[in-house]
């Protein structure tokens, strides 16, 4: 249920690289501008507000958003705290009045065309899925200008936050995270759903403990297939550092772009750095298109479960280590279903 710096890229001039990214969906971290460094955090999905303000100001802000909620929603849920915001949405921690069970409500403004499209995309996915590693939709309230998505509350924060705290993951810890993410993505791909915006900010821990499960969230850019059984996609979208080359090249692409993003996430977990990072978008996209990066660090230990796990092996099989310990991605766009 996280919101990140997701981008949709309009058509560029022919035969050149240009800085052509613009924001059209929810924004939170300046990952596209500052790589793995924290720019700002609003605590989406972790039950905490990232803004440091006095209790009185926080109560005033909560009261302000509570007043914008439809009475049908507040009759059933007690609005407790603002825990995230985006271009078209606000996320509140709430409590069911009857059961006292905590949830999160994502209130999406649908007056703007972009907000309506993001909401429709997310609903198309959440109404179809039921998996332990995918955020669960509880119920939906709809008014003329807003839609309220009641969802399970993840209190453990983002994978992004833990990478920042740890610096990097051990191979064993990275294996556990990737296994859960791959389980969720395999399930989505089986249903014909492509996420198209996988990144550490959109992967939440269900609770703060080290044994917490991971939840895949934020389906504002997801694709659920086209009429007539055509599963190829053409919309140029995603978050710059995680976009697959075929998307940048404006070619038809498949759900394999999710696997490219998972490769980038794997690199981040193991190294604590971005494989492709440049403040200049032209140079960034050139690096991605040329697959220009290297990994310097410990080589993979074949005794670890990362090499024994069937699904993770499918991802790692595309990585080749040379004698200097540099990781070269030989065929990153491997589909989980193809």
Active site residues: 197
Residue found by looking up tokens 């460094």 in the block:
37
Rounded-to-integer distance, Cα 53 and Cα 61, Å: 10
Query: Hey, what are 270's tokens?
Result: 């193991």
Query: Hey, what are 91's tokens?
Result: 């996320």
**Sequence-separated (6 or more) residues with CB below 8 Å from residue 256:** 244, 333, 334, 335, 338
- Nearest-CA neighbor of 214 among 274, 131, 106, 104? 131
Q: Tell me how far apart the terminal alpha carbons of the chain are, to the nearest angstrom.
A: 28
Helices (H), 68-202: 71-74, 113-126, 159-166, 171-190
Q: Which residues in 132-146 are b (16+ Cβ under 10 Å) and which e? A: ebbbebeeebeeeeb
For residue 241, give the 3-state DSSP assignment. helix
Rounded-to-integer distance, Cα 40 and Cα 54, Å: 18
Rounded-to-integer distance, Cα 333 and Cα 335, Å: 6
Rounded-to-integer distance, Cα 267 and Cα 287, Å: 15
DSSP notation for 225-252: --TTS---B---EE-GGG--HHHHTT--
Residue found by looking up tokens 């999710």 in the block:
258
For residue 74, give the 3-state DSSP assignment. helix
- Nearest-CA neighbor of 131 among 60, 52, 186, 51? 186
């Amino acid at each position: 249920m996280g919101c990140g710096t997701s981008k949709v890229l309009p058509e560029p001039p022919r035969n050149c690289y240009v800085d052509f990214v613009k924001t059209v969906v929810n924004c939170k971290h300046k990952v596209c501008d500052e790589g793995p460094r924290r720019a700002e955090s609003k605590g989406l999905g972790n039950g905490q507000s990232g803004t440091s303000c006095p209790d009185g100001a926080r109560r005033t802000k909560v009261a302000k958003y509570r007043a914008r909620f439809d009475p049908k929603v507040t009759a059933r849920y007690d609005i407790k705290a603002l825990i995230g915001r985006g271009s078209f949405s606000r996320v509140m921690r709430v409590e069911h009045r009857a059961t006292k069970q905590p949830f999160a409500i994502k209130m999406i403004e649908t007056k703007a065309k972009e907000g309506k499209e993001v909401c429709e995309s997310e609903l198309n996915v959440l109404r179809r899925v039921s998996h332990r590693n995918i955020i669960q939709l509880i119920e939906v309230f709809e008014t003329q200008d807003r839609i309220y998505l009641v969802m399970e509350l993840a209190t453990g924060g983002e994978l992004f936050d833990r990478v920042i705290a740890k610096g990097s993951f051990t191979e064993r810890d990275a294996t556990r995270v990737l296994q859960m993410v791959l389980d969720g993505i395999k399930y989505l791909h089986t249903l014909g759903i492509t996420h198209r915006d996988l990144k550490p900010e959109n992967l939440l821990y269900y609770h703060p403990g080290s044994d917490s499960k991971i939840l895949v969230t934020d389906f504002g850019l997801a694709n659920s297939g086209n009429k007539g059984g055509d599963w190829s996609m053409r919309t140029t979208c995603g978050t710059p550092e995680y976009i697959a080359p075929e998307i940048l090249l404006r070619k038809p692409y498949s759900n394999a772009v999710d696997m490219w993003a998972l490769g980038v996430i794997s690199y981040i977990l193991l190294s604590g750095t971005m494989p492709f990072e440049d403040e200049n978008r032209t140079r960034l996209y050139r690096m991605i298109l040329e697959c220009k990066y290297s990994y310097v660090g410990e080589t993979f230990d074949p005794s670890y479960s990362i090499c024994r796990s069937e699904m993770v092996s499918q991802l790692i099989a595309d990585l080749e280590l040379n004698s200097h310990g540099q990781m070269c991605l030989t065929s990153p766009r491997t589909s989980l279903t193809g």
